[in-house]
Amino acid sequence: MLGRRGLGAAQCAWRGSWADPVRAVSTKALSRRSTIRDARLLDSGSRVAVGGWVKSVRKHKSVSFVNVNDGSCLGELQITLPAEETQEAAVQSLGAKLSDITVGSSVYAEGELREVPGGKHKRLELHPSTLEVLGECDIQKYPLQKKYHSLEFLRENLHLRARTNTFGAVTRVRNALSQGLHSYFQKNDFLHLHSPILTSNDCEGAGEMFRIAKMDGKDEEFFGTPTYLTVSGQLHGEMYACALSKVYTFGPTFRAENSNTTRHLAEFWMVEPEMAFAGLEECVASAQGAVQSSVAHALDTCSEDIAFFNKNYDKQIAERLERVVEKDFARLTYTEAIGVLQKAVAESKGKVSFEKKPEWGMDLQTEHERFLAEKYVGGPVFVTDYPADIKAFYMRKNAPDEQDRETVAGMDLLVPKIGELVGGSVREERFEVLEKKMRHLGLLPEGDLDEDSIAASGGDLDWYLDLRRFGSVPHAGWGLGFERLVLFATGMDNIRDVIPLPRFPGQCKH
């Protein structure tokens, strides 16, 4: 019998067979247990060992069915307990007590896979020769004993929610989306850049940054300067792109915003590629490529999970994802987009209206973004060339348009259900233009950039100007809020449900 004691025994046997104390690693161990996903793909008659948690128990007079899941897939493996006269004795002969086999308990089983008789689709069940309850579960105390729980209830039981179908599926899809992104970047010559969490650069609004506390009992900063948690890896991405051409960051970023909504987290993951020798075209094409690669990998490896979301959370999710992968994304300029919105209102005879009236110069609101993606295009759409006044200082200005309005070479990717999924731009690579802008915004110390005034300015961004001083290159990049992609791909509604341990005002348990 394997199981807990079996593991120890195997190790001892291995140990005894060597005279010299140095042994090689036994690499056989990992192959002993099959995942339930793999077991379900085997042929009838195969012998297999599995471990997992009991999802349901149906006890009948002559036969009982125990459904087990191990997280490797959404599906369960049915263990069929023998039909003998005294079932309790039969189960005991396998190594377990029937009363210990409850929802939530963990079991280890070995046996033979056989086809379930009489089913429409081929389905295998396990006839065990060994069955061991590894960990019991008191169903009187177990918070998840019932089959269905509200998402709210599960948010209160974060440490157990991964044991439910929904959160198992979210975790697998999240993993697949993440790997699909890595694949895209690795295939396209981007280097993964582990940009730092801790930073002294505070250029995107101090109020929204978490700050590291001073050292206990002393009025001293650990790093000598005020230190914050990063809000974006972009500037560090630019640092490396301006040396190695193509890099991407993929890690947590932070906002100390007091927002209690279904769209905001204090800690969330961003992927931020940055490319040298690139402009708006590369920005747009790589954002499409990365999103498509990510979604395709989820469709390829998590079809069962996506069917589950389609059935239980959003009836259009499967079709929407297929469409993302098949077609090139649409494209509009901001100016065209405003025209489309205004025309839609004017021609709809009151059927289309927005809380905020579409006018050139305004920032697009979620209602506008969703209208463009859902109603006008019916899929993902890039909006490019936004007014300069509503965008960040580092975006590169276009030449003024026919009406002498100033825009920047920036783009947002809008998708149905979510609105903005990606935001990016060409970066201002001209030293003089950037320096003037930064000085105007107070991001540089006043006066000449001598060493004393730089040191006095706190957040020292002179290094960022150095990237333009020495061998500057046209470069561009974008950022994708990874949780938004998970929302988009699962059909879940609340951002707190698509990250393992959500952090928001008042909540940082565990």
Interacting residues with its own copies between 27 and 56 (CB under 8 A): 27-30, 33, 35, 37, 51-54
Closer residue to its own copies (CB): 180 or 419 = 180
Q: Which stretch binds its own copies (CB under 8 A): 77-85, 111-119, 193-201, 353-361?
A: 193-201
| Contact status: 505 vs its own copies (CB under 8 A) | yes
| Contact status: 267 vs its own copies (CB under 8 A) | yes
Closer residue to its own copies (CB): 116 or 465 = 465
For residue 225, the one-letter residue type is: T
Q: How far is the CB of 462 from its own copies (least distance, A)?
A: 9
Q: How far is the CB of 319 from its own copies (least distance, A)?
A: 20
Q: Which stretch binds its own copies (CB under 8 A): 21-29, 74-82, 350-358, 387-395?
A: 21-29
| Contact status: 354 vs its own copies (CB under 8 A) | no
Q: How far is the CB of 318 from its own copies (least distance, A)?
A: 21
Q: How far is the CB of 345 from its own copies (least distance, A)?
A: 16
Q: Tally Cβ neighbours within 10 Å of residue 171.
A: 17
Q: How far is the CB of 160 from its own copies (least distance, A)?
A: 7
Q: Give the interface size with its own copies as a residue count (CB under 8 A).
A: 146
Q: How far, in Å, CA of 430 to CA of 433, rounded?
A: 6
Q: How far is the CB of 61 from its own copies (least distance, A)?
A: 27
Closer residue to its own copies (CB): 116 or 322 = 322
- Name the DSSP class of 155: H
Q: How far is the CB of 84 from its own copies (least distance, A)?
A: 26
When binding is defined by CB under 8 A, the residue of 184, 308, 309, 329 that contacts its own copies is 329
Task: Give the ranges where 40-155 is alpha helix by DSSP (H).
Answer: 87-94, 151-155
Closer residue to its own copies (CB): 83 or 212 = 212
Q: Is 225 helix (H, G, I), strand (E, B) or coil?
A: coil
When binding is defined by CB under 8 A, the residue of 46, 57, 71, 362 that contacts its own copies is 71
Residue 433 vs residues 50, 152, 238: alpha-carbon distances, Å: 64, 50, 17
Closer residue to its own copies (CB): 82 or 393 = 393
| Contact status: 280 vs its own copies (CB under 8 A) | yes
Give the CA-trace dihedral at 425, 429, 432, 438, to 10 degrees: 40
Residues of this chain, 405-464, that bind its own copies according to CB under 8 A: 429, 460, 463-464
Closer residue to its own copies (CB): 87 or 164 = 164
Q: How far is the CB of 480 from its own copies (least distance, A)?
A: 14
When binding is defined by CB under 8 A, the residue of 46, 149, 208, 289 that contacts its own copies is 289
Report which of 36, 39, 11 is spatially closest to residue 25, judged by C-alpha positions: 11
Build a one-symbol-per-residue string for 468-497: x at contacts with its own copies by CB under 8 A, - elsewhere.
xxxxxxx-----------------------
When binding is defined by CB under 8 A, the residue of 60, 97, 277, 375 that contacts its own copies is 277
When binding is defined by CB under 8 A, the residue of 67, 232, 286, 294 that contacts its own copies is 286
Residues of this chain, 129-168, that bind its own copies according to CB under 8 A: 134-138, 141-142, 144, 158-160, 162-163, 167-168
Q: Parallel, antiparallel, or unpaired for β 475-481 and 419-426?
A: antiparallel
- Cβ(10)–Cβ(29) below 8 Å: yes
Q: How far is the CB of 47 from its own copies (least distance, A)?
A: 17
Residues of this chain, 203-222, that bind its own copies according to CB under 8 A: 207, 210-216, 222
Half-sphere exposure at residue 504, Cβ-oriented, CA atoms within 13 angstroms = 15
**CA max distance for the chain:** 93
Residue 64: alpha-carbon gap to chain centroid = 39
Q: How far apart are the first and last CA of the chain?
A: 36
Q: How far is the CB of 189 from its own copies (least distance, A)?
A: 5
**174: Cβ contacts below 8 Å, ≥ 6 apart:** 486, 498, 499
| Contact status: 345 vs its own copies (CB under 8 A) | no
Q: How far is the CB of 419 from its own copies (least distance, A)?
A: 18
**How does DSSP assign 177-209, residue by residue?**
HHHHHHHHHHHTTPEE----SEES---S-GGG-
| Contact status: 189 vs its own copies (CB under 8 A) | yes
Closer residue to its own copies (CB): 63 or 456 = 456
Per the listing, tokens 């009151």 go with 350
Q: Which stretch binds its own copies (CB under 8 A): 80-88, 91-99, 324-332, 353-361?
A: 324-332
Residues of this chain, 221-250, that bind its own copies according to CB under 8 A: 222-225, 227, 229, 235-236, 239-240, 243-247
Closer residue to its own copies (CB): 91 or 461 = 461
Report which of 94, 114, 90, 97 is spatially closest to residue 1, judged by C-alpha positions: 94
**280: Cβ contacts below 8 Å, ≥ 6 apart:** 384, 409, 410, 411, 425, 426, 476
| Contact status: 377 vs its own copies (CB under 8 A) | yes
Closer residue to its own copies (CB): 3 or 387 = 3
Q: How far, in Å, CA of 161 to CA of 143, rounded?
A: 10
**How does DSSP assign 121-148, residue by residue?**
S--EEEEEEEEEEEE---TTT-TT-SS-
Q: Is 430 helix (H, G, I), strand (E, B) or coil?
A: coil
- Total residue count of the chain as it appears in this document: 510
- Cβ(122)–Cβ(161) below 8 Å: no
Q: Tally Cβ neighbours within 10 Å of residue 386.
A: 25
**Residue 146 tokens, joined:** 């019932």
